[in-house]
Chains A and B, each alone.
Chain A
């Protein structure tokens, strides 16, 4: 691929409850065959849960879940690796469950969609993707 490098899918201060906030997408990832994902949750205090959903798209309109990281009230760093070369039969597109991945499917865009329940203080979420 032409633009292989590490990208920030999102780095955000977690404070008030957020119902499914999609961030702007990292684009022009044509030829992407793999994505290594790192989700870093730096916990301060308060809050209940944070769901960080990495999604991919082929057109920038329809988005599909490919990895989901779940956090609560403790700092954590979680990783996942996705390959577009993994054979994948026909399945229906469906939301991912907790800590789920959908391997074998990568479009040319990635984005982060996150959901917050509870009110956090001094807490940040960062999700990076190294694509190649």
Chain B
């Protein structure tokens, strides 16, 4: 069952994960932050297969569950577009931010893993070259 897969991940993240903030910024001047706190497993992107071209030692690899995003209905109401160009706005995307232990990371790559058409796990690679 798809719900069992998510429940298992939630249990694992509860035990071995940490709370991080997923942020989407709306607007340029007078920008607005839309935040949701998610439970995630955060590791350095340091294994040989993860240290591919363009991925550096201070980047992080984050495994998160869709549970908190779904519960918060993040990022809230959005304008829908006609199919087939109507991406799920609740999935993190390049340009979003992660705040981990008070440090901001830029989301670069998102892999939303689905089982039977439902997202059960979100894997993100984020760049940590920001001092803020």
B26 at the interface (CB under 8 A from A): yes
Is the pair B76, A7 in contact by a Cβ cutoff of 8 Å?
yes
Given contacts A8-B34, A11-B34, contact A23 B79 (CB under 8 A): yes
* Residue on B nearest A5 in the bound complex, by CB: B72
A86 at the interface (CB under 8 A from B): no
Tally of chain A residues near chain B (CB < 8 A): 28
Within 8 Å by CB of A44, from B29, B34, B77, B80, lies B29
Tally of chain B residues near chain A (CB < 8 A): 19
B49 at the interface (CB under 8 A from A): no
A111 CB to closest chain B CB, in angstroms? 6
A5 to B73, CA, bound (A): 11
Determine the chain A residues whose CB is within 8 A of the CB of B28 once the complex forms: 13, 122
Given contacts A44-B30, A124-B26, contact A11 B72 (CB under 8 A): no
Determine the chain A residues whose CB is within 8 A of the CB of B78 once the complex forms: 10, 23-24
Given contacts A11-B76, A24-B80, contact A126 B32 (CB under 8 A): yes
B53 at the interface (CB under 8 A from A): no
Q: Which residues in B have some Cβ–Cβ distance to A below 8 Å?
A: 26-32, 34, 71-80, 89
